[in-house]
Amino acid sequence: MGTHPVPGTMYPSKHFTLSVALLLVLAPLSGVVVPLVGTVTAANDGDGAAGATELSSCTVIDQPGTYVLTEDITDSSEGICIDIRSSDVTFDGNGHVVAGNLSREEINESTAGPPPRDRVGVGVNVRADERVSNVSVSNVTVSNWYHGVLSENVSGGSTSGITAYDNGGGIIYDNSSDVSVTDSTSMENLILGVIVDSRAGVPNANNTIADNTLRNNSVFGAALFLSNGSTVANNTATENLFGVMAFGTTNTTVTNNIASNNRYIGVLVEGFPLNNSTVGEPIDDVEPAVPRTNSRENLVVDNDATNNTFGGIALGNTDDTLVVDNDVSETGPAPAKVYPFTTRASAGILAENATNNTVVNTTASDVEYVYAGFNSSETTVRNAETDSGRVSFVAGDVGVAPVADLPEPPAGQAAFGEGLNTTAFGENESLTVTFHYDEAALEEANRNEKSLNVYRYDEATGEWTVVCDDYVLDTEANTVTATVDDPNGVVAPLANDDPNSTST
Distances (CA, A) of 37 to 27, 151, 197, 315: 24, 20, 29, 48
Per-residue model confidence (pLDDT) at position 332: 87
Domains in the chain: boundaries: 1-18+191-382, 27-184, 387-504
How do residues 253-302 score in pLDDT, each as one tens digit? Answer: 999 999 999 999 999 999 987 754 333 333 344 343 444 568 999 999 99
Q: Taking a C-beta distance cutoff of 8 angstroms, is the pair 107, 148 a contact?
A: no
Secondary structure letter of residue 110 according to DSSP? G
Q: Taking a C-beta distance cutoff of 8 angstroms, is the pair 194, 216 a contact?
A: no
Per-residue model confidence (pLDDT) at position 13: 35
Minimum mean pLDDT range among 92-96, 211-215, 416-420, 463-467: 416-420
Whether 305 shows a pLDDT value over 50: the answer reads yes
Mean pLDDT across 57-68: 98
**C-alpha dihedral, 202 to 28 to 32 to 75, nearest 10°:** -110
Measured CA angle at 247 (ends 5, 203), to 5 deg:
80
How do residues 218-246 score in pLDDT, each as one tens digit? Answer: 999 999 999 999 999 999 999 999 999 99
| Sequence-ordered strand ranges (E) for 40-104 | 40-41, 53-55, 59-61, 65-69, 73-76, 80-84, 89-100
- What's the CA gap between 188 and 476, in Å, rounded? 53
